[in-house]
Amino acid sequence: MRLNVNPTRMELSRLKKRLKVAVRGHKLLKDKQDELMKKFIDLIKKNNELRLKVEEELTKSLKDFMMARAVMGTEALEEAIAMPAETIKLDVTKKNIMSVNVPIMNFVREGSENASIYPYGFFATTGELDAAIKKLYDIMPHLLELAEVEKSCQLMADEIEKTRRRVNALEYVMIPQLKETIKYITMKLDENERGTLTRLMKIKSMMQK
């Protein structure tokens, strides 16, 4: 497929410029893609490991919680934890990995400085609940890390897909098209020149007769 243009010198030099830009763009995008891929593979491996770990721990912790509920009774448990001693907030900053903005998340605990993690008095609750909450509390940093890594992976996967499309479009469509058109114009111009030359020679020989 060649572009639909007039075979003129103007057009030729314009196309040559475009080809140069396309080749340069292709190289840059390809580099970007490679680098993104490298980072992505590191990250996704971490993501996989982290998720396996967190899922396992979390399941355990939730089971403990069920246990605590079974011992204490649903209402008593809900009453005990209905008013948490602190709230967790999230501080999000951006990090730029190869033009992909990924979030960096940090926990911020809001509450009195040295409050215990248990939001209740120990009178009406059982040891099971304490243990379950402690466990959940310990998982939190992992859970957050998982969230951060997983979100980054999602965003990067999207960006990689986009970049790959662009690279392929340039490599298999734009650049071949431009090259073919340039070739076509060069041929056409050469042909015209030869045409002119033979015409001149013909005329000259006619005039000499």
The residues binding another protein (CB under 8 A) are 37, 40-41, 44-45, 47-48, 51-52, 54-56, 58-59, 61-63, 65-66, 77-78, 81-82, 84-92, 94, 101, 103, 105, 108-111, 117-119, 132-133, 136-137, 140, 143-144, 146-148, 150-151, 153-158, 160-161
Residue 23 Cβ vs another protein, minimum distance, rounded to whole Å: 24
Residue 48 Cβ vs another protein, minimum distance, rounded to whole Å: 5
Nearer to another protein, 85 or 189 (CB): 85
**Could you tell me the CA-to-CA distances from 20 to 15, 27, 168, 175 in Å, in that order?**
9, 11, 17, 9
11's CB contacts (< 8 A; 6+ apart) are 5, 185
Residue 4 Cβ vs another protein, minimum distance, rounded to whole Å: 34
Residue 90 Cβ vs another protein, minimum distance, rounded to whole Å: 4
Q: Tell me the sheet residues that pair with 104.
A: 93
Residue 5 Cβ vs another protein, minimum distance, rounded to whole Å: 35
State the amino acid at position 28 in one-letter form: L
132: nearest Cα among 144, 117, 146: 117
State the amino acid at position 194 in one-letter form: R
Nearer to another protein, 141 or 195 (CB): 141
d(CA 7, CA 178) in angstroms, rounded, equals 13
Nearer to another protein, 83 or 207 (CB): 83
Q: Which residue has the tokens 């900053």?
A: 93
23's CB contacts (< 8 A; 6+ apart) are 175
